Structure 1
């Protein structure tokens, strides 16, 4: 006789219920969002209520032996999330008690449990004897496999008899499969564990570096900084964020530092099941921060996209030389304030970029940042344009003399040639070079789309701008500019709904209101 399914318990303590079948935590009948690993910790502690469960025991359950993980960070993170879901406190615990350096103990009172039969139970099918004409699972699978091969053969033969070239047919087939398997990822703003709120520029810089490095890989669609920063300080569940950004995977982590020593803890989460699939810690001196950033990006990319091509590996390894810590930090501060797009922010950005060059006259990124600053303020008319376009040009060329792999100077030179030199051919050459160096750079793609629009190649411009919005779905300016592109060529029936989408992101965005009025 087939054996009975094992009963599954629903455990209760105070207002909470733990459903071991569905993997859910409920409070007063309402589901509480809780990731898989914190839930596993809860079930282990409840199963041995009142007893010590060591950190080592929990670690062996959460992470198999072949998992790369920063054990302390991963476990502390799981316990903290569990306490947050329970409304518990480490200082005055009601449920989860910490035994320093040893482990944890569940100190709540189990009110009871009820047993239910698993709805997923299916009685085993006997191998023999079986009913005539009825396939047991093994034979059914064999026959299905034969049908699949026959179907594939028929499709290939049909392609041949239809006059199609088989090689072309196979190419299109596998190209389609490859595009369907392209992975998408979002890097959420890293948590600041430096203990100093003034270090936000540094933490955000580490987030930006990972986004930039991952974007160099053609196998990944990477969400841009602007959209990722919408989730800074948020407590939304990761599957909800993944749904809003339309991504498969999410990277979250933290940054800590002590003097010139930097530590980044990162975790890769599969969005579909909210399961942590990779965790690792990186420790470096600040002068080796570029090596740290490249190693982190390489590890994340391999986890998400598999083996990298030699070209992709060379892109990531292009800039790993030691840096002057003072010059690097000044440059980070400059980038941080440049993104503020305010008069005060521009002035601070200029000062920090200049400091970066003073600290290290051979630091290419400092020249690149200062060059971009001058091109932006010249374009916006904040300062006299001619003098500052010339400065932007000189500084960008200086940056490329030091490091010809930088994308930022090529973009700046391209825009100077477009707006100041009236040299569209030269602008196209520089912007194309930027995209050759970093095909996934949304920054370069955005400027390239604007060049195409000005060059009268509206359809290409709109196509590229759509890709920008796909990578930066929560950036109101990108969404609004797509509407402007459409309106500029008379496609107002498309422009109007696009501009309305932009206002859903930011209802007070003045430029979008003006563009929408023009489109009607």
Structure 2
């Protein structure tokens, strides 16, 4: 009976119809899934299609049993004469249909597994256009180098590319970025796992990639990529871990959840990746993934938007970022990361960084916010790094170092810790010069596409006279972000050190135009004055917070002293105001008062306070400062610093020892390289002995020749010939 039933099922092609139906249903479900994503349709469409496909199966089986396809059309099986049945021919047609559908299914499977995620993932860079630091290279050569380097990369390394926002709402971009960042933060805590920092990984956002080249640029062997689609209260997260060199998929998964489960999804993905990494990368077997902190989704959205804006480091975006962090705090007062973000924004908004808030006020507010963050989460690495930065601003280098070391211990892959740490070292310690370069090289390895990392690495190369390499880094920054002022800051530093003041002024002006801030205004004003564009410099500072500088730029020392005494300092802890007031008192010959004001700044070893100690016959203090300066010069020489880093220090040492002949010998050497005399040498009372030296008129004439040459270069660069006169 059973054999006859099976034979009849075969004769009526029921099995073949079933096979064709299953394959066709699978193709329809896959096509629908892609259509839903492409047209931003709700996820329930997929559910409905799958449900109807499932329900339809028994009806199709019943239809195949009860009916037969004949030359006259579809007829009931009992009405067909067995001699006239064409089930054999129909069966062959069904075989052909099934095979065709299988070919389509196989092609789709290959497409999906190999290409689709990459095609939909807009998170990459056109690598062929990026030059290496060491110079230009042909595309083919660069590709070969990338492949060779990739084969040498350690397996325990990964970059988390920003997940693609598949939602129709562009505002959800922060949401998809946030998921990527949270996963990255979890992975960054794993010992012995090299994780590329956020800035570099996110630099590939919105561009096309060749995966192996991206991995080579980032210095990793594995890539995590994915997508996020949010519709209503539903979210779908797709992630896949790929071995870059072989393009092998180590792990992939799709998660469909309600939106309130998003933190659980982050945990699941992170845990699954760790398991995959354990298997393939020989990581420690007892690694535990720390669960993501659950917060209000609106607070999370505000934090993610603020965090994204921090990376732009310009005044307007930083103000918006601060507002977003404060919004997150208002929604979720116990959200530690929001307090950390607020502190971060305030540090950046200080007038000595990218903003306009007096440094002391910005630091005070940042410290309060950061302390709150650490109280809520004592294991927040970013907060310890910010704490180090705040201590560094206050010249408390010992506490700064302790905080930075805590940050690195909690997250050894947070590149900013190394960058900030490198700027807050105690340079009275002999090993600080070496440690700075070491820290910046480490940051560069972690975050090779980060503008902040690149610019600091560039600054670290300048003392060794690696000017071509530094300028190449500046060009690389422009490729990453054409509107970044950091590239021009680097150029300004190089051209100042090489006495190319026309190019330096052009670079500082470009930097200030791209990111107006107090520090940038200082630079461009002095650079323009140095090449004779005094009126242009005065016009820039007039009416600003540093309006008082116009008197110094004009060489009007009496007005500068008078206004400084009326307006400075702006507050007890006003670093800028105390320093300028100290300078004014020095020019007025009142060194006793000057020392008091310098004591409230970081001018512990600056030229002015050394001069004042000498004028006050403070023998011990003067001797101590002179000894420290000598030790600093020796340390620079032993570290391999180029002459341009210490020749100015040596020259001033001769001045303080009243050895003006040697002072002038060094002056001649610097003038021969293109040096231009500054306003202090030509105008300040403290430098009167220099102006009385017999060589000074020749020095002044030589300086004027250099100035005219650099002015012409500047005018050619800006394409104009503004009125210029010799600076005072």
Q: TM-score range by the shorter chain?
A: 0.5 to 0.7
Candidates 344, 347, 371, aligned match of 2:319? 347
| Distance in 2 separating the partners of 1:80 and 1:402 | 38
| Distance in 1 separating the partners of 2:285 and 2:177 | 29
Cα offset for 1:498? 3.9
Cα offset for 1:479? 2.1
Cα offset for 1:409? 1.6
Look up the SS of the partner of 1:231 in the other structure.
coil
Candidates 185, 190, 193, aligned match of 2:163? 190
In the other structure, the counterpart of 2:253 is 280
Candidates 48, 52, 76, aligned match of 2:101? 52
Candidates 390, 404, 418, aligned match of 1:416? 390
| Distance in 2 separating the partners of 1:230 and 1:321 | 26
Cα offset for 1:244? 2.9
In the other structure, the counterpart of 1:122 is none
**Superposition pairs of residues 296-311 of structure 1, within 5 angstroms:** 296-306=269-279, 309=284
In the other structure, the counterpart of 1:211 is 184
In the other structure, the counterpart of 2:8 is none
**Superposition pairs of residues 235-274 of structure 1, within 5 angstroms:** 235-274=208-247
| Distance in 2 separating the partners of 1:455 and 1:281 | 55
Look up the SS of the partner of 1:279 in the other structure.
strand
In the other structure, the counterpart of 1:482 is 457
Look up the SS of the partner of 1:53 in the other structure.
helix
In the other structure, the counterpart of 2:434 is 459
Q: 1:411 to 1:288 in 2, by over 3 A?
A: farther
Q: Does 1:365 align with 2:337?
A: yes
Residue deviations 1:387-407 (CA, integer Å, cap 9, x gap): 221111111111111111111
Cα offset for 1:369? 0.8
| Distance in 2 separating the partners of 1:341 and 1:455 | 30
Q: 1:312 to 1:502 in 2, by over 3 A?
A: farther
Question: Is the helix fraction higher in 1 or 2?
Answer: 2
Cα offset for 1:255? 1.0
- Check whether the contact 2:343–2:367 (CA below 8 A) recurs between aligned residues: yes
- Check whether the contact 2:188–2:411 (CA below 8 A) recurs between aligned residues: yes
Look up the SS of the partner of 2:492 in the other structure.
helix
Max Rg structure: 2
Q: Does 1:322 align with 2:330?
A: no
- Check whether the contact 1:201–1:333 (CA below 8 A) recurs between aligned residues: yes
In the other structure, the counterpart of 2:379 is 405
Question: Is the strand fraction higher in 1 or 2?
Answer: 1
| Distance in 1 separating the partners of 2:474 and 2:97 | 52
Candidates 356, 368, 392, aligned match of 2:366? 392
Residue deviations 1:350-399 (CA, integer Å, cap 9, x gap): 11111111111111111111111111112424212222211111111111
In the other structure, the counterpart of 2:198 is 225
Cα offset for 1:346? 1.3
Number of residues of Structure 1 aligned to a counterpart in Structure 2: 361
TM-score with structure 1 setting the length: 0.63
Q: 1:418 to 1:226 in 2, by over 3 A?
A: same
In the other structure, the counterpart of 2:207 is 234
Cα offset for 1:246? 3.2
- Check whether the contact 2:196–2:413 (CA below 8 A) recurs between aligned residues: no
Candidates 462, 483, 494, aligned match of 1:516? 494
Structure 1, 406-415 or 472-481: larger mean CA deviation: 472-481
CA-atom RMSD in angstroms: 3.2
- Check whether the contact 1:417–1:424 (CA below 8 A) recurs between aligned residues: yes
Q: 1:453 to 1:477 in 2, by over 3 A?
A: farther
Cα offset for 1:469? 0.9
Cα offset for 1:237? 2.2
Cα offset for 1:321? 4.0
Cα offset for 1:338? 2.1
Q: 1:83 to 1:196 in 2, by over 3 A?
A: closer
Structure 1 gaps of 5+ residues are 1-46, 63-73, 85-178
